[in-house]
Structure formats: C-alpha cells, structure tokens
C-alpha cells in the first residue's frame, strides 16, 4: 500500500495539483527522499523537473525550501533541474521566490542542453557567465563553465550568447582544458564560426564556401 509520500510523488509527476494539496494536508512531506519511481529527492525538485509551476507554488507555501539540494555528488537544486529541462517559466518563478541563480551553476545545466531562452533568463537575473560547475558530470573532469559544456555539445547559439555576455573561453577545467581547446577540436563548422577569433583562416574559408553555395 502506498504511503502518503509515495502518493504525493505520483501526484506531482502527473500534475495533479488538488490531489497534492489534499495529501499535504494529510501529512505528506515536502522533503520525501529517494522514493521508488519519484525520480527526485524532494517534492519541489520533482515539480520543477516536470514543469508544474502551480505545484511548485503549493509546495513552497507548505514549507518547501526553494534552495534545498539533492544529496552529493549532484547537489542539484530545483532551479538546476528546471534549467536543465528548459523550463524557463519555472526558472523565473523559482528565482522570484528566492532561488539562488548562482548556486550550483544552473546556467551550466541550461547551456549543456542548448536551452537558449533559459540561458537568456538566467543571465538576465545575474547568473555568473564564468562560474564553474564542480559536480564532475563530464567524465570526472569537473570545473567546466557553461561555455565549456555548450562548446563540447555543439550548442553554437548558446556559445554565441555566452560569448556576447562576457564568457571567457580561456578558463581551464580540472584537466586544464578550455572552451577554446574544445572549439579547436570541434568538427562543427558553426562552432568554428562562433569562435572565429580562433580560426582566421578557417573563417575566411567558411565564408567563401557559403558564398559559393549561395
């Protein structure tokens, strides 16, 4: 038989706001931990992940901590999960409710998956464009910036946005690799075009090919 916490986890996943409220009134915890099938440590993490602003609001009104974090090594807040899923409206809601925009580098999460609008929002609210992610997601390298991950995963539009907002392509990660190093190794012409200051010859060749193609 399901506990009230397990039922709350299911209700959040399915977006059932009224059921969530009833379960909270019956004693369900906003800080349930690692329930089978819940996908997240805490209720607010789950609601942010699935993109339900009304449930996020309900949970915060029932005592959820907007800056609560998952267990190490991931140290994700609800804002990290919303950013990593491209839930731009949820991100803005959480920030307006006190989520720390530079706690555990949510800009990194949005950049990693190429969520341009979410990156724009986070920068608007003061995200540090050169902050490093210390969670060791990328094969244990650690200390990647948003520009590192956007370059590595060929998110050229996000790379351009970050560079225009002051991203430093010379910051090293734990292995001493920079975003510029990733760009130099990239086979993606859009990445090379975005980092054209690193490739003066390739830039001229790229423009020539475009002119021929057109």
Choose among 49, 50, 36: nearest CA to 5.
36
Supply the range of the domain harboring residue 100: 78-213
Query: What is the structure's pLDDT at 79?
Result: 96
My answer on whether 149 and 171 are in the same domain is: yes
Query: What is the structure's pLDDT at 62?
Result: 96
Choose among 138, 144, 155, 146: nearest CA to 190.
155
**H/E run at residue 133:** strand 132-133
My answer on whether 120 and 174 are in the same domain is: yes
* Phi, psi (degrees; rounded to nearest 5) at 140: 80, 5
My answer on whether 101 and 189 are in the same domain is: yes
For tokens 């949970």, what's the residue?
Answer: 59
Pairing of strands 144-145, 132-133: antiparallel
Chosen domain end from 16, 43, 65: 65
Q: What is the CATH number of the domain that holds 41?
A: 1.25.40.20
Query: What is the structure's pLDDT at 214?
Result: 63
Whether 71 is covered by a domain: the verdict is: no
**H/E run at residue 204:** helix 200-213
* Phi, psi (degrees; rounded to nearest 5) at 165: -105, 20
CB of 60 within 8 A of CB of 97? yes
Whether 39 is covered by a domain: the verdict is: yes
**H/E run at residue 89:** helix 88-96
| Structure-token pair, residue 3 | 């506990």
Whether 73 is covered by a domain: the verdict is: no
Report in angstroms the alpha-carbon separations of 154 from 110, 179, 187, 195. 13, 11, 9, 12
Total tally of structural domains belonging to the chain? 2
Residue-level pLDDT, tens digit, the chain, 214 residues? 678 988 999 999 999 999 999 999 999 999 886 555 445 668 999 999 999 999 999 999 999 999 998 766 667 899 999 999 999 999 999 999 999 999 888 999 999 999 999 999 999 999 999 998 877 555 556 789 999 999 999 999 999 999 999 999 999 998 899 999 999 999 999 998 898 877 665 555 665 666 677 6
My answer on whether 13 and 97 are in the same domain is: no
Measured distance CA(106)–CA(48) in Å, rounded: 13
């Amino acid at each position: 038989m399901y506990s009230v916490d397990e039922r709350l986890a299911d209700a959040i996943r399915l977006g059932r706001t009224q059921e969530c409220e009833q379960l909270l009134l019956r004693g369900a915890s906003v800080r349930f931990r690692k329930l089978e099938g819940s996908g997240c440590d805490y209720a607010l993490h789950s609601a942010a992940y699935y993109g339900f602003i009304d449930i996020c609001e309900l949970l915060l009104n029932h005592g959820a901590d907007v800056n609560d974090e998952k267990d190490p090594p991931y140290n994700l807040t609800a804002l990290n999960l919303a950013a990593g899923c491209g839930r731009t409206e949820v991100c803005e809601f959480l920030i307006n409710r006190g989520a720390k925009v530079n706690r555990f580098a949510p800009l990194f999460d949005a950049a990693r998956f190429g969520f341009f609008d979410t990156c724009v929002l986070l920068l608007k609210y003061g995200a540090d464009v050169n902050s490093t992610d210390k969670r060791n997601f990328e094969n244990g390298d650690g200390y990647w910036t948003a520009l590192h991950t956007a370059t590595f995963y060929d998110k050229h539009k996000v790379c351009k946005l970050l560079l225009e907002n002051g991203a430093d392509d010379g910051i090293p990660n734990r292995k001493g690799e920079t975003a510029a190093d990733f760009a130099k190794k990239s086979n993606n012409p859009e990445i090379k075009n975005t980092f054209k200051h690193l490739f003066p010859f390739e830039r001229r060749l790229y423009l020539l090919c475009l002119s021929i193609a057109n």
